[in-house]
Amino acid sequence: MPRVLCTALSTETGPHFELLRSAGFDCDVVDRSLNLWDEQSLVKAADGYDAILAGSEPFTEAVLTQLPSLRVLSRTGVGWDAIDAKVCDRLGIVIAITPGVNHDSVAEHTIALLMGVSRGFPQSDHEVRQNVWQRVARPRVMSRTLGLVGLGRIGQAVAWRAIGLGMKVLACDQAPSADFVASHNVELVSFDDLLARSDYVSLHVPVTPETRHLIDASAIEKMRDGVVIINTARGPLIDETALISALESGKVASAGLDVFEEEPLPAESPLLKRQDVLLSGHVAGLDQESHRDTCKMAAETIISLHRGDWPGNRIQNLHDRNGWQW
């Protein structure tokens, strides 16, 4: 009986159990007391499993080479930068994602962070709890300019919501949908132009060698004074040291962050001490609907691959297949 381990957070419940067990798989949930960001702890947990219903745990070369039974890493989400794809290619391990199931959740969370920091949270909340009663006039969101770095499924879902709030939307993307841009009156601009013209900058691109620290001191310097930065994509897109310096100087007015360079966010992070930063713990893509649909798709991918099918729109590596079989 092939074995599946669920390491992704919140996978203690969901439709994946019934799907996998009905298809003849043994399905377990990882011991949550383990630190899965420690390589040897992850190896110990995953040893002997054929497939993993994975989260953002780091499947590095050191981990992957110690898991001889592993055939599939089925990610509950669309990001897979924590997985060493070259090693997976070499070892014949399939990397799969769940496209098209969480973009509405991420978009809603992005707007929530944007509106929250725009209206003075978390500072206002903290002040009231401390019996400090201040009234501060803040810029209205309506009529302001939102710059979207990335206009894929998530960027588009954010765009039409922002337009509904009365915002002007700029976007930069390597291959934007011409139909979406035309029908929603989104203005396509260069990255530098977006930085210079946006009141809010929201990130919706994957982490690659080219995008790591995309928002660094140089990029921030090109932004408007008092800009707001939102990140619900991947933490390493932002140089956190540069962001903290810009918050301290006032160049950046505030930030809404769901993702971080190191996760979980270390207790000593300066971000935790700032009342001009609204934080959440990598949950933007998680709502009840996305949880159900993501777990279902991740399980279906494992089952499909075991049966000899190849759901190519979900698979991110082994593009020529090389005769891959379970």
Task: For residue 187, list its beta bridge partners.
Answer: 170
Q: Are 194 and 295 contained in the same domain? A: no
Q: Give the pLDDT mean for 266-288.
A: 96
The rounded distance, in Å, linking the Cα atoms of 79 and 96 is: 10
Active site residues per annotation: 234, 263, 282
Q: Are 128 and 275 contained in the same domain? A: yes
Res. 321 pLDDT band, cuts 50 70 90: confident
With a cut of 80, say whether residue 182 has pLDDT above it. Answer: yes
Res. 271 pLDDT band, cuts 50 70 90: very high
Q: Are 270 and 143 contained in the same domain? A: yes
**97 in a structural domain:** yes
Q: Are 121 and 251 contained in the same domain? A: yes
Res. 220 pLDDT band, cuts 50 70 90: very high
Enclosing domain of residue 133: 103-279
**149 in a structural domain:** yes
Q: Give the pLDDT mean for 192-219.
A: 97
**139 in a structural domain:** yes
Q: Are 160 and 206 contained in the same domain? A: yes
Give the total number of structural domains in the chain. Answer: 2
| AA letter at 317 | N
Position 320 scores a pLDDT of 77
**158 in a structural domain:** yes
Q: Are 126 and 188 contained in the same domain? A: yes
Res. 316 pLDDT band, cuts 50 70 90: very high
With a cut of 80, say whether residue 307 has pLDDT above it. Answer: yes
**321 in a structural domain:** no
Q: Are 198 and 216 contained in the same domain? A: yes
Q: Are 161 and 37 contained in the same domain? A: no
With a cut of 80, say whether residue 322 has pLDDT above it. Answer: no
With a cut of 90, say whether residue 306 has pLDDT above it. Answer: yes
As a whole number, the mean pLDDT across the chain is 96
Please give, one letter per residue, the 3-state secondary structure of the chain. CCEEEECCCCCCCCCHHHHHHHCCCEEEECCCCCCCCCHHHHHHHHCCCCEEEECCCCECHHHHCCCCCCCEEEECCCCCCCECHHHHHHHCCEEECCCCCCHHHHHHHHHHHHHHHHCCCCHHHHHHHCCCCCCCCCCCCCCCEEEEECCCHHHHHHHHHHHHCCCEEEEECCCCCHHHHHHHCCEECCHHHHHHHCCEEEECCCCCCCCCCCECHHHHHCCCCCEEEEECCCHHHECHHHHHHHHHHCCEEEEEECCCCCCCCCCCCHHHHCCCEEECCCCCCCCHHHHHHHHHHHHHHHHHHHCCCCCCCCECCCCCCCCCCC
Position 319 scores a pLDDT of 85
Name the nearest CA neighbour of 51 among 311, 290, 303: 303
Q: 33: domain CATH number? A: 3.40.50.720
Q: Are 116 and 240 contained in the same domain? A: yes
> Per-residue pLDDT tens for 63-120?
999 999 999 999 999 989 999 999 999 999 999 999 999 999 999 999 999 999 999 9
Q: Give the pLDDT mean for 241-255.
A: 98
Q: Are 7 and 127 contained in the same domain? A: no
**109 in a structural domain:** yes
pTM over 0.85: yes
Q: How many residues does the chain have?
A: 326
Q: Are 261 and 300 contained in the same domain? A: no
Q: Give the pLDDT mean for 218-247.
A: 98
With a cut of 80, say whether residue 180 has pLDDT above it. Answer: yes
**318 in a structural domain:** no
Res. 51 pLDDT band, cuts 50 70 90: very high
Q: Are 192 and 94 contained in the same domain? A: no
**317 in a structural domain:** no
